[in-house]
Amino acid sequence: MDNSTQILPQNDESALKYYLSWVAWPGLFALCMTLTGIGFAFGAPMTAFIFSYILLILSLFFLERFMPHEREWQEPDGQTFADIAHTLTTKGTVHTLFLFAGVIGLTEIFRPATADGYGIFGAELWPRGWPMFFQVAFAVVIAEFMCYWSHRTAHEIPVLWRFHAVHHSVTRLWFVNTGRFHFMDSLYRVLMGMIPLALLGAPMEVLQWLSAVTAFIGMLTHCNVEMRFGWISYVFNTPGLHRWHHSRDIREGNKNYGENVVLWDMLFGTYINPQDRRPPADIGISEFMPAKFTHQLLWPFLSKDKRREFRAKATGIGKRKAG
Ligand SMILES: [Zn+2]
Ligand SMILES: [Zn+2]
C-alpha cells in the first residue's frame, strides 16, 4: 500500500465511509468532552460522563459493524468474558482505592477546585489560577510522563511484563478489550500517574477531567473502526498508533507507549507511525497465555516451573514422553 491510499478513498469505500473515517475520532472525542463539560457546568459531571461513555460505546458498536478496520477481528476469539471480567476487576480495584482515599489521605491531597488546595508539600504548587482547559492539558501531560514510563517498564522489565502480557495476549482489537488489564498492571499505572499530581496538589476537578479524557481516548484507541487521523496522530494516541503497539514484532510493539498523548514517545524516541503500510492484522504475543480469566489472574504469580507445567497440560507442548 502506498502513501496515498491511507489518505485517499479506497476502491471499495463509499463516500460516506470515507467521510466518517475522517470525522469519527475527532467528532466522537469532541462530543464526549462537550457533554462532560456541560455536566461540570450543571454540577453533575459523573452523570454526564456515564452518559457520554455509553454513547461512545454504542457509537463504536455500530461503527465496528458498519466500517471495520479488520474484518477478521470481527470473528469471536473466546475472550469476551475474560475481557469484561478483567475490565470489572480493574475498575473495582481502582474504585476501592478511591473509596479508601480518605483513609490513606488522598482526599486531603486532592481537594475540590474551589477549596484552598495544598499538595503533599503543603505549598500551593498547582496553577489553580489557569483556565480549566489549560489545567487539564497540564495534568494530562505530566501524568503521561509517569504513564509512559510505567507502560514502557511493563514491556521492558520481565516481572512487570508478566502482568501486562494479559493485555497484549488478545489476537484482535475491538472496543471490548479496552479495559482488559490485569488489575495489578492497572494499579501500577494509576498509582504512578497520580504521583506528580499528588505532589503538585492538583484539585479533584482536574483529576475527574483527566479520568474522563483517559476513558474516552482509551475506548477509541482499541476500536476496530476504519479511521483516518492526519495530524491527530502527532498529538493524541489514536487507534492507528496503538495497532502498531499490539504488533507481535517487538520492534513495532515496544513503541507508542503513550496513553493519551504522544509527546513523551516523541521525546524518548519510541514514536512510530509508518505511512507506507497498514499495521499487522495478526497481533498478539509469542508466548503462552491461559484462556480462562481466573488462570490469567493467577498466571503472573506462578513460578517458572508451575507455568511450564500448566502450559504443558494446556497445549501438550513440552510434555515429557512416557517411557
Ligand atoms: Zn503495552
Ligand atoms: Zn492496548
Q: How many domains does the chain fold into?
A: 1
Give 166 Cα–ligand 1 centroid separation in angstroms. Answer: 10
pLDDT band at 318, cuts 50/70/90? Answer: low
Q: pLDDT value at position 133?
A: 95
Does position 5 have pLDDT exceeding 90, yes or no? no
Give 218 Cα–ligand 2 centroid separation in angstroms. Answer: 8
Give 9 Cα–ligand 2 centroid separation in angstroms. Answer: 27
> For 212-246, what is each residue's pLDDT tens digit?
999 999 999 999 999 999 999 999 999 999 999 99
Q: pLDDT value at position 104?
A: 54
> For 241-272, what is each residue's pLDDT tens digit?
999 999 999 999 999 999 999 999 999 999 99
Do the domain assignments include residue 187?
Answer: yes
- The grid cell for 163 is 502482568
168 close to 246: Cβ distance less than 8 angstroms:
yes
Give 168 Cα–ligand 2 centroid separation in angstroms. Answer: 7
Three-state DSSP class for residue 184: helix
Residue 263's domain spans which residues?
12-267
Taking the CA atoms of 132, 138, 141 and 143 in sequence, report the sign of the dihedral they define. Answer: negative
Do the domain assignments include residue 113?
Answer: yes
> For 145-167, what is each residue's pLDDT tens digit?
999 999 999 999 999 999 999 99
Task: Give the rounded distance of the alpha carbon of 33 from its chain centre.
Answer: 17
Do the domain assignments include residue 34?
Answer: yes
DSSP string covering 224-287: -B----GGGGGTB--HHHHHHHTBSSHHHHTS---SSBSHHHHHTT-----SSSPPPSSBS-SS
Q: pLDDT value at position 3?
A: 45
Do the domain assignments include residue 123?
Answer: yes
Give 170 Cα–ligand 2 centroid separation in angstroms. Answer: 9
- Residue 322 has φ and ψ, to the nearest 5°, of -70, 140
Three-state DSSP class for residue 110: coil
Q: What angle do CA 111, 118, 140 make, to 5 degrees?
A: 70
Alpha-carbon gap, residue 300 to 320, rounded angstroms: 24
Do the domain assignments include residue 289?
Answer: no
Do the domain assignments include residue 18?
Answer: yes
Give 94 Cα–ligand 2 centroid separation in angstroms. Answer: 18
Do the domain assignments include residue 53?
Answer: yes
Give 186 Cα–ligand 1 centroid separation in angstroms. Answer: 11
Q: Which residues of 55-79 are buried (b: 16+ CB within 10 A; e: fewer)?
A: ebeebbeebbeebbbbeebeeeeeb
Alpha-carbon gap, residue 206 to 110, rounded angstroms: 9
Do the domain assignments include residue 94?
Answer: yes
Burial grade of 318 (CB within 10 A; 0-12, 13-18, 19 or more): exposed
